[in-house]
Amino acid sequence: MRPIHLSHERVRRQLCKAEEFCFAPGDNVNPVNSLKSHSPLPCAGSAISLADGTFATMKKTTKEFFPGISKISYEGPRSKNPLAFKHYNAEEVVEGKSMRDHLRFSVTYWHTIRGQLSDMFGPGTAVRPWEDGTNSLEMAETRVRVAFEFLEKLGAPFYAFHDRDVAPEGRDLRETNKNLDAIVKVLKAEQDRTGVRLLWGTACLLRIPALLTAPRQVATPTLSPTLRPRSKRPSR
């Protein structure tokens, strides 16, 4: 089985309308997908199918994933509130520019939403009550809702992701692309709803053994044809 090639051009067109969007250095011409799902959770098999073949059939939810927590605000250094900014005041103007514009924070999807806080000494300690133990498309949509609620309440203006962070890999290229396209629609809807923008998106190359120890060589022309990056999606 060869590594699956994915293009980010379609994702870029759908998610980004602002100049802030970019790919990670060296990755904009390297949409090579990993062989395994970039997930610390057990997968329900390597073949992930669309629920009924269409995005429209996916369930929508208004569930609050962080109940009882309002938007984090600035309360000053004397505040005893653990869920308040003590020093960062987004509206404070310094040298003619607000702190919001000076410090353009981005929340990374792989650490904040997918990471389980595990290491070589034990299992993950992160509490993720919305996880159902699968890497299904429905679970991926739920994670998007979780992520954007978190972004809204934190007040972060940007987020970033790898392709496999947000959408599961399918049985083949066609299904993998459908999965990604379906989740991109959910991401775009949440961006429109919240005003949060995508800072950058990239491909997860870390699970490909041939690239794991030499990521800086990904863009070189010496790679084998099966690993050589493509700027566009292959025909289906």
- Residues labelled catalytic: 162, 165
Which tokens in the block code for residue 154?
């934190």
Rounded Cα gap, residues 7 and 123, in angstroms: 34
Give, for 102, the enclosing helix (H) or strand (E). helix 99-102
CA pair distance 169, 120, nearest whole angstrom: 26
Number of Cβ within 10 Å of residue 73's Cβ equals: 13
Question: CA 6, CA 32: separation in Å to the nearest integer?
Answer: 6
Contacts of 23 (CB under 8 A, 6+ apart): 8, 200, 201, 202
Which residues, other chains included, contact 49 with Cβ-Cβ below 8 Å and sequence gap of 6+?
A: 137, 170, 171, 175
